Structure 1
Amino acid sequence: MSEPDEHVRYKAYLDEFAQVADPDEAGLIGRVLADPDVIMAQAAVLRHLDRRAAVLCAEPGWEEWAQVMARAVVRHPFLIRRLREWSLFRAVTLRLPWQQDDLLAASDWLQLKAAAGPDPDALAVLADRGRTKRIRSTARTRLAKPSRE
């Protein structure tokens, strides 16, 4: 039994993303998002954005990269939201200014990621008002541990 076409394309897209040069990244995202299987295409782009954002989050070129990526995914609200949440995560992690309401309105994904992070203000907010029991528990556990950062 052969693998479904969309699985083959998904893997091929991930391979292309792993090798793409920075100047060609937005173009590749556009090509992938033009795939007829919208869900698969968005999943491939999401995985790429998450991988790149995790690497670039603390880097000086973050803002420019995030703007280029936002233009590349402008017609895909879920991908735009993920980029915004990476920007919020960056602010929380680097202890840049951020808004409590933004963190409380964020997805479970971001709240859980922030609850495992170092920012004591974010941890206090999430320990008290995180969306799920798991988020609140993770934040409380982090608050109880002495910081080594």
Structure 2
Amino acid sequence: MSAPIMMAKDITGDEPSRILVEVEDFREIWRDQGGTGDMDVALWKPQCPEGYVALADLAYACTRFCGWPKPDWYKSMMKCVRRDFVEECYTSIEPVWTNYGGFERASGSVWRIEAINGIRNTGFWLGNQGHRVPPNGGRAYCLKQFEEIDD
């Protein structure tokens, strides 16, 4: 899977008005425990402060037998977005990846995030345990489509 990566920088220095803040923690969604690949892979959900949301999940892979460490060093690289700058969007109807047929102890899947209007390709995804039901009931967050106002 590959897609463009969105990059943003918050230019407000004021803490209360920050649009982007660092991730507070990560919660493990799925790991490939029992798999036979050359890498250990886990899917992680960013945990955001109140009033902020994550636009996507994180996949982290390391050399075999690394033990699926929590990717704490990504906290400063991923950002949470203030809730008033996002709108609800949805995951794809079908997963873009599953470990179906693998030897892992748990089922895992990855679901593409799609904007409601279907025009914007977010390039983001959510991970999930299982293959059949999308995470969060298919709900996700996308950046709002802001309109330019001419003077």
Q: TM-score range by the shorter chain?
A: under 0.3
| TM-score normalised over the length of structure 2 | 0.21
RCO higher in 1 or 2 (8 Å CA, sep ≥ 6)?
2
Counting helix residues as a fraction of each chain, which structure ranks higher?
1
